[in-house]
Homo-oligomer: A and B are copies of this chain.
Amino acid sequence: MIDLEQIGRQARRAVQVLATAPTSQKNAALTAIADALITRQVDILAANAQDVAEARAGGLTDALIDRLTLTPARLEGIAADVRKVVELPDPVGMRFDERTLPNGLHLYKQRTPMGVLGVIYESRPNVTVDVAALALKSGNGAILRGGKETLRSNIALCGVVQHGLAQAGLPAECVQYIEDTSREYVLGLLRLSAYVDMIIPRGGAGLHDFCRENATIPVITGGLGICHLFVDDTADLDRSVDVIHNAKTQRPSVCNALDTALVHRTVAREFLPRLVERLDRDGVVFKAEPGAYEIVGGMPGVEAAQDGDFDTEWMALILGLKVVDGLDQAIEHIRQHSTGHSDGILTRTQAHADAFVQRVDSAAVYVNASTRFTDGAQFGLGAEVAISTQRLHARGPMALEELTTYKWVGIGDMHVRA
C-alpha cells in the first residue's frame, strides 16, 4: 500500500532545499549518480535481468524486450547523458525582462524551479535517470511512475539517484518512485495537486488522453506527431527527394519522422515517381490518395490510401502521398490532419514560405528542412524531457528552461502605490 500523500509531502519538503541549492551541489549529485550507475551496475543489471526474464515469460516481442534491456554499455550511455547535464547551464536564478519603472521601482523576472514534477512513462528504464537528472539540474523534485515491465530496474535506478542526492547532501526524497504498478496510483498521482505542479506523460496517445481527462494538475501533452512536408511548385525537386528521404527513413520510429508528403499538382507527375523510386530502395511503403495513385499506382510499394491513413502516426517505413492544388489546400490538409508537432514547406518562393510559416501553427514549422530536427539536442537545448504539442507554457522540445517558471522581483526604496 503506497501512501501518495506522504510521498507528496516528502517531495514538497525536499524541494524546499533543492530549489535554492547552489549549482555546484546539484552538479555534485549528478556526478555521484553517473558514478554510481557504473559502480553499482551489478545490482542494476541483476534487477533488470529479472524484469527481462519476466517479460520473456510473458511473451513480449523481441523488440519490446530489447527496449527494456540494460547492458553495461547502455549504463555507460546513461551515465554519459547524466554527465552532459552537469555541463548544461543552470537555469535557476537567471534574470530576464529587467526594467526600471518610471517611479523608480526596479523590476525583473527570475527563473525558479517549477516545483515537483509527476512523470508517468512506459517501458524504457533510461527515462528514470534522464528525467531525474533534468529535474535535479533545474531544481525540481520528481515523483516517477514507470511501466510494470521495468519495475525492478526502475527501483534500482531510482535507488542510484537517491544515493547520488544523499552523497551531495541533498534530500533523497527529491526523486521518488511509486513502487506499485496498479493503475490507481497513476490516477492518484494525477490528482495530487497539493504537492505536484506539472504532469509529464511519456508514452502513447492513450496515456496522454488518460492524463488530460483525469488530472487536476496541468499536463504537458505531446509526443504524438503526424508530420507533413509540402513540396511546392517551385521546390528544388532533387533536393526535396533528399529531404523527404531523410524525414521518413533516418529514424522512422520517432515522433518527428514524416508521415505525409503533400505535392503541388504542377510538379506531381515529375516529382512523385522520383520520390517513390528513391524511397522504395529503403523499403518504404506508400499510401497514395487517388490523385497520387493515378501517377504512381503500380510502382513498387505503392498502395491506395484507406480511410484514416492520413490520421495515422506511422512510426514505420510508411508514407502518405497526396497531390494538392496549391498552398491553400496543403495548409487546409495540415490543419485537419496534423497533430501540431512538426510540419514544413519545401519551396524557392519566399512569399509561399512566409505564408506557410504564418498560417501553419504547429510546435515546429520548417522551411526547406527535414522534420527530424524537432529535438532538444538538435535545437541546441542540450537535452529534452518531452516534446510538447499543447499550447500552454512550452511548445516543442522541453529542456531545462522549460522545467522552470519565473517570479517577479520588485526592488524599491520604500515605494508605495499612488
Q: A residues touching B (Cβ–Cβ < 8 Å)? A: 16, 19-20, 93, 99, 101, 105, 107, 110, 112, 114-115, 193, 197-198, 212-213, 216, 218-219, 236, 239-240, 242-243, 245-247, 250, 335, 344, 346, 353, 357-359, 361-370, 372-374, 378-380, 390-393, 395-396, 405-417
Contact = CB atoms under 8 A, between A and B. Distances in A.
B372 A417 contact: yes
A193 B218 CA distance: 13
Contact of A411 (B240, B369, B405): B369
Contacts of A358: 20, 93
Which of A216, A218, A367 has the most chain B CB within a 10 Å cutoff?
A: A218
Please state the number of chain copies in the assembly: 2
Nearest to A370: B416
A359 to B, nearest CB: 6
A373 B105 contact: yes
16 contacts: A101-B379, A105-B373, A114-B391, A115-B391, A218-B218, A246-B416, A353-B411, A364-B409, A365-B408, A365-B410, A367-B409, A373-B417, A379-B408, A392-B405, A395-B407, A396-B408
A155 to B, nearest CB: 29
A104 to B, nearest CB: 10
Report whether over half of chain A's contact residues are helix, strand or loop; otherwise say mixed: mixed
Contacts of A213: 216
Contact of A363 (B362, B408, B417): B408
A356 B405 CA distance: 18
A167 B36 CA distance: 68
A278 to B, nearest CB: 13
